[in-house]
Amino acid sequence: MLKAAMGYALGIFLASTFYWRNPIAIAAISNLCAGDGMADIIGRRYGSWKFPYNKNKSYVGSIGMTIAGFSASTCSQSVRPREHQPWRSTTQNTPKPMALTITFFSIPVNTTSSFYSSLNTHRAEFLQLLKVKPNRRIRRKLTSSAAMFSDNIVVSDIIATGVSGGIALSLLKFWEQTSKRGIFDQKLNRKLVHVTLGLAFMLCWPMFSSGRQGAILAGLIPGINVIKMLLLGLGIWKDDATVKSMSRFGDHRELLKGPLYYALTISLASAIYWRTSPIAIAAVCNLCAGDGMADIVGRRFGSTKLPYNQNKSIIGSITMASAGFLASIGYMLYFSSFGYIEESTKMVFGFLLASIVAALVESHPFSTELDDNLTVPLVSVLVGGLVF
């Protein structure tokens, strides 16, 4: 254990010291962290087929390591503006390694020798490095250049679709396993799927290009889930684990209501409004965080019911408005950091109003009759269209 920890720390230290912000450092750290880590996780779970020359290693583990290391390397190199990738330019000076620069920074300044003067120059470079922050102009250039995984936009979007779909599918399979093993109560498990799936998928939106192509490809991922819900709900496709994790009573016909509306909302929010619209943020956050947390908290602490609806509690409605609003603010800041939207006080109040109205509508009896997964995003879109 000690040997592994020392090797891990030494690898990162040497990469930072001698190959600072260089593709070699990116490859070394990505393969060490993402590659080797995922190889062990996947290999232990699915690695029944061992190598003939090493019975402690599996084929699927090595494949997982290759894919994870490559994906992490690509993401690490691509998310940085080209202005901050000095190895791409032959006219710029190679930046000093961070570990050495920190050493230079610790040298006293009160000296006039040429040696110490040189060290002070490096220290000034370190201070300048700390002050460097990508301004909005650079961030907006990032969003317009579009290609995160490849210089070819189509290839980049295809890779982003695969990565995002893999993340969504992995999360869904995880909750299916918790439902199958009875780790959580079925109702709680269903709401955990409800809360996490849409929000996790929305985190993947920056992987896609900024044009209509990226929006449509992103929308196809939950769109495939719409087709899946139709097939399962109509009984054409049998998948008991999925039905159990997404339904209240284990009836496959339930998937034609709430789960279908849920997937349809996220698909349309991606394809139509996309990450540049606060309406998409409000609709998805009120549906996922708001409605999901309202049920979880309401069932646990909702002893005081609403006077006009004995099936809903005061604490549940307050939780829905609060969770939807806070999630909306979080994603506003998240997308603003990429330059997709510009945060403002007006937008904050717009999110607050949309969350409050959505909570009021969700608490009404007619919302339960129609389905919360339909009424909440519809109201969020309507209110968002008026205030944003």
pLDDT tens-digit readout, 51-82: 777 878 877 777 778 877 777 776 665 555 44
Is the pLDDT assigned to residue 134 strictly greater than 90?
no
Q: What is the mean pLDDT of residues 355-368?
A: 91
Percent above pLDDT 90 for the chain? 38
| Amino acid, single-letter form, for residue 44 | R
Q: Is the pLDDT of residue 121 over 70?
A: no
Higher pLDDT, 343 or 146: 343
Q: Average pLDDT over the chain, rounded to whole?
A: 79
Pair 205, 270: CB distance under 8 Å: yes
**pLDDT of res. 93:** 43
What average pLDDT does this structure show over 93-109? 40
**Residue of higher predicted confidence among 100 and 357:** 357
Considering only 3-7, 126-130, 152-156, which range has the smallest mean pLDDT? 126-130
Query: Residues 235-264: pLDDT tens digits?
Result: 888 888 777 777 777 788 888 888 899 999
pLDDT of 141: 42
pLDDT at res. 5: 63
Contacts of the segment 223-232: beta carbons below 8 A, 24+ positions apart: 223/263, 223/267, 223/271, 224/165, 225/168, 225/263, 225/267, 226/260, 226/263, 226/264, 226/267, 228/263, 229/255, 229/256, 229/259, 229/260, 229/263, 230/256, 230/260
Number of CB atoms found within 10 A of residue 133's CB: 6
Angle at 46 between CA 45 and CA 49, to 5 degrees: 135
Predicted pLDDT of residue 341: 92
CB 252 within 8 Å of CB 235 = yes
Per-residue pLDDT, averaged over 154-159, amounts to 90
- How sure is the predictor about 7, in pLDDT bands with cuts at 50, 70 and 90? low
User: What percent of the chain shows pLDDT beyond 70?
Assistant: 76
Residue 136: exposed, middle, or buried by beta-carbon count in 10 A (0-12, 13-18, 19+)? exposed
**How many Cβ atoms sit within 10 Å of the Cβ of residue 256?**
15
Distance CA 142, CA 164 (A): 19
Give the residue-averaged pLDDT of 111-119.
50
Contact 104, 126 (CB under 8 A): yes
Contact 306, 317 (CB under 8 A): yes
Give the pLDDT band of residue 97 (cuts 50, 70, 90).
very low
What average pLDDT does range 159-166 have in this prediction?
91
pLDDT score at 106: 42
What would the pLDDT profile of 282-308 be if each residue is shown by its tens digit?
999 999 999 999 999 998 898 899 999
pLDDT tens digits for range 38-55: 778 877 877 677 777 787
- And the tokens for 262? 């849920």
Give the strand pairing for 54-58 and 50-51: antiparallel
Q: Are 340 and 275 in contact (CB under 8 A)?
A: yes
Per-residue pLDDT tens over the stretch 191-220: 898 999 999 999 999 999 988 899 999 999
Mean pLDDT confidence for 366-388: 91
**Three-class secondary structure assignment of 8-69:** HHHHHHHHHHHCCCCHHHHHHHHHHHHHHHHHHHHHHHHCCCEECCEEEEEHHHHHHHHHHH
Neighbouring-strand partners of residue 51: 54
| Residue 137 confidence (pLDDT) | 41
Section 305-326 average pLDDT:
93
| Among 107-116, 126-135, 249-258, the range of highest mean pLDDT | 249-258
pLDDT category, 152, cuts 50, 70, 90? confident
Unique residue bearing structure tokens 């929006």: 215
pLDDT at 135 over 70: no
- Kindly indicate the confidence band of residue 145, based on its pLDDT and cuts at 50, 70 and 90: very low
Q: What integer pLDDT is reported at residue 288 of this predicted model?
A: 95
Q: Of 116-130, 210-224, 230-244, which has the strongest mean pLDDT?
A: 210-224
Distance CA 27, CA 265 (A): 38
With bands split at pLDDT 50, 70 and 90, how would you rate the model's confidence at 117? Answer: low
